[in-house]
Structure 1
Amino acid sequence: MKNIIITGTSRGIGYELALQFANAGHQVLAISRNIPTVLLEHEQITCLSVDLSNESELENVTAFLNSSWKIVDALIHNAGFLICKPFENLTSLDFEQVYKVNVFAVANLTRICLPFMSKGSHVVTVSSIGGVRGSLKFPGLAAYSSSKGAVITLSELLAEEYKEQGISFNVLALGAVQTEMLQEAFPGYVAPISAAKMANYIFDFTLNGNVYFNGKVLEVSTTNP
């Protein structure tokens, strides 16, 4: 049994991941602004309502770890915020909102969890294929895709910085997945893979991927976006 922290668990991949880990017998700390009743009622899941864009609310995570778990085996940065606009219409506030969730929260939550991690712990950041150098870029995603590129570099740096402690950092750069966020950004677009199927992959990678990878970016995509 492992202690797994997952962000963005109100819907989509994060929701499916929380249930998969919990149903497999692991302890899950599910972090999201909105808390689904199914997760709240699951005996293996602890839910925290946290707005990741508000750094002060992350103190709730610190308090929980100090009082309860003491150990974090895996951290999955799954939460994401997407704004789809032509670049000329993007404002500084748009960029700030995206980066607060997709970059700053990743750094802040990682910093909080590191004192509770040890050799064998695994930090998995869910990025996007759009954040990978040389991949096809889609108009309207300047803020989102650039933020996903930022966390790729951050993960590579942290892998090097913490390799002596045996803590692994890896990135999964996902292509299109059929989630609510995708539908909101691209109405009518149908992705070839469901949130539940992608969660299956991330579930296994979180538990076993650090045996084979550290500081790596794995492209998990059959599509361009």
Structure 2
Amino acid sequence: MKNIVITGTSRGIGFEMVRIFSEMGHRVLALSRNEEPILAQQLENVHAFSFDITSSEAISRVSSFVAENWGSVHVLINNAGALVNKAFEELSLADFRKSYEVNVFGVAEVTRVLLPFMEANSHVVNISSMGGVQGSMKFPGLAAYSSSKGALITLTELLAEEYKDGGPSFNVLALGAVQTEMLQEAFPGYEAPVTATQMGEYIVNFSLNGHKFYNGKIMQVSNSTP
């Protein structure tokens, strides 16, 4: 039984991962602004509470929960994300700030406060996007989102280097299009080739086993090119 922390769990890939981990017999702390969808499932060994990744108070509550109930974290999946789709000249400074606060700064802080509970064989998996990968196809309207996801990729590489001697391992998954509510809100009518359940199953397996083979790696999880 592993102790798993996942952010962004109220819907989409995060929601599916909580269910999958629970069915496998692991303990899960599910973190999202809206905890009701997870609580309504009444999943075994799952604890959920309302969580704002941009709030230092909320992040402190996470570390307090781990200290009081688990004492250790085996897997941290930074899945929460904010996506805005606007032409560059329409993007405000607030749009950029929100993107970076959720996709970069919040991830960094959650990771920092949980590091004391992680060991050499623990695994931090950051969820990025193909749009943040250098040389990948870029799309108009995603200047704030994709640039923040690119920053997350670099952050992952830096943390892997900084903690390579004592762990944990850090890897980043750059996802292609997945059929989620967030995708539909940003791109109404677009049909992605991969479901949230399928991607959730992949990430769960990678989070439990990927650190045995990789550290500081960018894994491009997309069936389209380039």
TM-score class, shorter: over 0.9
Deviation at 1:57, TM superposition (A): 1.6
**Cα-to-partner distance string for 1:176-195 (whole Å, 9 max, x where unaligned):** 00000000000000000000
Structure 2 residue matching 1:176: 3-state secondary structure: coil
The answer as to whether partners of 1:175 and 1:224 remain within 8 angstroms in 2 is no
Distance of 1:57 and 1:199 partners within structure 2: 25
Aligned to 2:98: 97
The answer as to whether partners of 1:18 and 1:39 remain within 8 angstroms in 2 is no
The answer as to whether partners of 2:15 and 2:38 remain within 8 angstroms in 1 is no
Aligned to 2:126: 125
Distance of 2:224 and 2:182 partners within structure 1: 17
Structure 2 residue matching 1:4: 3-state secondary structure: strand
Deviation at 1:224, TM superposition (A): 5.4
For structure 1, the 5+ residue unaligned runs are: none
Aligned to 2:194: 193
Aligned to 1:10: 10
Distance of 1:48 and 1:119 partners within structure 2: 28
Aligned to 1:182: 183
Distance of 1:183 and 1:223 partners within structure 2: 19
The CA RMSD measured in Å over matched residues stands at 1.2
Aligned to 1:64: 65
**Cα-to-partner distance string for 1:71-101 (whole Å, 9 max, x where unaligned):** 0000000010001000001011110011111
Distance of 1:113 and 1:58 partners within structure 2: 9
**Cα-to-partner distance string for 1:4-32 (whole Å, 9 max, x where unaligned):** 00000000000000000011000000000
Number of equivalenced pairs: 225
Deviation at 1:48, TM superposition (A): 1.9
Question: Are residues 22 and 175 of structure 1, via their aligned partners in 2, closer, same or farther at CA, if it must alter by over 3 Å?
Answer: same
Structure 2 residue matching 1:31: 3-state secondary structure: strand
Higher mean Cα deviation, 60-69 or 84-93?
60-69
| Counterpart AA for 2:208 | L
Using structure 2 for the length normalisation, give the TM-score.
0.97
Structure 2 residue matching 1:172: 3-state secondary structure: strand
Structure 2 residue matching 1:123: 3-state secondary structure: strand
Structure 2 residue matching 1:134: 3-state secondary structure: coil
| Counterpart AA for 2:68 | S
Sequence identity (%): 58
Deviation at 1:44, TM superposition (A): 1.0
**Cα-to-partner distance string for 1:22-64 (whole Å, 9 max, x where unaligned):** 1100000000000134445222101021111222221110210
Q: Does 1:30 align with 2:30?
A: yes
Superposition pairs of residues 32-47 of structure 1, within 5 angstroms:
32-39=32-39, 41-47=42-48
Aligned to 2:157: 156
Structure 2 residue matching 1:163: 3-state secondary structure: coil
Question: Are residues 51 and 224 of structure 1, via their aligned partners in 2, closer, same or farther at CA, if it must alter by over 3 Å?
Answer: farther
Structure 2 residue matching 1:188: 3-state secondary structure: coil
The answer as to whether partners of 2:128 and 2:175 remain within 8 angstroms in 1 is yes
Distance of 1:197 and 1:166 partners within structure 2: 29
Aligned to 1:204: 205
| Counterpart AA for 1:53 | T
Distance of 1:50 and 1:5 partners within structure 2: 12
| Counterpart AA for 1:169 | F
For structure 2, the 5+ residue unaligned runs are: none
